[in-house]
């Protein structure tokens, strides 16, 4: 049986990485503004408008808006929504829930992507543990994004971190390479199943830029899509959490590009 090779992954030059840092810094500041604005009573459409204004004021472009026809700047992930929830002026944030926001930014032709999930006020133990497990899984994955490591090690670490805490890892959706385009090679699944992805054998090299994004559920890993063709929810209606950073693989490990810089 012929062995399938991992895909060729574009590696960025130092000058290109500097442009991606700038894009990531704009995105990080946008995420900070969104965190500050997320409170009960705020509509998801208001959050979308805030994000678009922040990105455009900085001289960048919302990467999601118009991408494959998506109608907004941000994706809103309330409770059982895993990804791609469309902002709505009639939808307002409520206390006791968890809410995720996923945003992309393109500046001077270079794209970055990041997401976070927060608790609005007091939430139950299940939701708190779900948030912690997802954030920890991202941290463990980033710690393994070093030259010479295989991508499969990163995928396995996410799955083991999540499942050891009793949660599910979404399989129908994956992380991805990123840079000139929103989605570049490789695909980055959040689980490891020998032979399922050629990408598992990809050896990480300096200059690779990746969007690592654990998507974790309180129950089944199965998902379903709403009639709008975008909003993707857990199949069992239990809550989900989503954390994401765009990173560059360097000789010293993962450099997080979607963080604020002085």
Residue 107 CA to its chain's centroid (Å): 18
Is 2's pLDDT higher than 60? no
Rg of the chain over all Cα atoms, to the nearest angstrom: 17
Q: How confident is the model at residue 1 (pLDDT cuts 50, 70, 90)?
A: very low
* Alpha carbon distances (Å) from 255 to 151, 204, 206: 16, 13, 10
Per-residue pLDDT of 85-123, as tens digits, reads 999 999 999 999 999 999 999 999 999 999 999 999 999
pTM of the model: 0.95
CA distance 146 to 17: 16
% of the chain beyond a pLDDT of 70:
98
Indicate the domain borders of the chain. Answer: 14-256
Q: From the CB of residue 89, how many other CB atoms can be counted at a distance below 10 Å?
A: 11
Is 14's pLDDT higher than 80? yes
What's the mean pLDDT in 132-160? 98
Written out in words, the top-level CATH class of the domain with range 14-256 is alpha beta
The mean pLDDT of the chain is 96
CA distance 193 to 212: 18
Is 230's pLDDT higher than 90? yes
């Amino acid at each position: 049986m012929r062995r399938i090779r991992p895909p060729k992954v574009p590696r960025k030059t130092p000058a290109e990485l500097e442009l991606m840092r700038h894009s990531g810094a704009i995105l990080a500041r946008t995420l900070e503004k969104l965190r500050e604005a997320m409170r009960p009573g705020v509509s998801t459409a208001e959050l979308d408008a805030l994000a678009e204004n922040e990105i455009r004021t900085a001289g960048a472009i919302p990467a999601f808006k118009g991408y494959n026809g998506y109608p907004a700047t941000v994706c809103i992930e309330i409770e059982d929504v895993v990804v791609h929830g469309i902002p709505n002026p009639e939808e307002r944030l409520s206390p006791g829930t968890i809410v995720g926001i996923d945003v992309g930014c393109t500046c001077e032709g270079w794209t970055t992507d990041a997401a976070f999930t927060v608790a609005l006020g007091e939430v139950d133990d299940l939701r708190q543990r779900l948030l912690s497990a997802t954030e920890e899984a991202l941290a463990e994955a980033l710690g393994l994004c070093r030259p010479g490591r295989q991508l499969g090690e990163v995928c396995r670490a996410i799955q083991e971190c999540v499942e050891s805490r009793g949660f599910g890892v979404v399989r129908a959706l994956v992380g991805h390479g990123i840079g000139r385009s929103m989605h570049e090679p490789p695909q980055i699944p959040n689980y490891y199943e020998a032979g399922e992805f050629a990408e598992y054998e990809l050896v990480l090299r300096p200059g690779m830029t990746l969007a690592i994004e654990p998507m974790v559920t309180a129950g089944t890993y199965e998902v379903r899509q709403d009639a709008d063709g975008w909003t993707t929810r857990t199949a069992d209606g239990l809550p989900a959490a989503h954390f994401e950073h765009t990173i560059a693989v360097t000789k010293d490990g993962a450099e997080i590009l979607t963080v604020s810089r002085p």
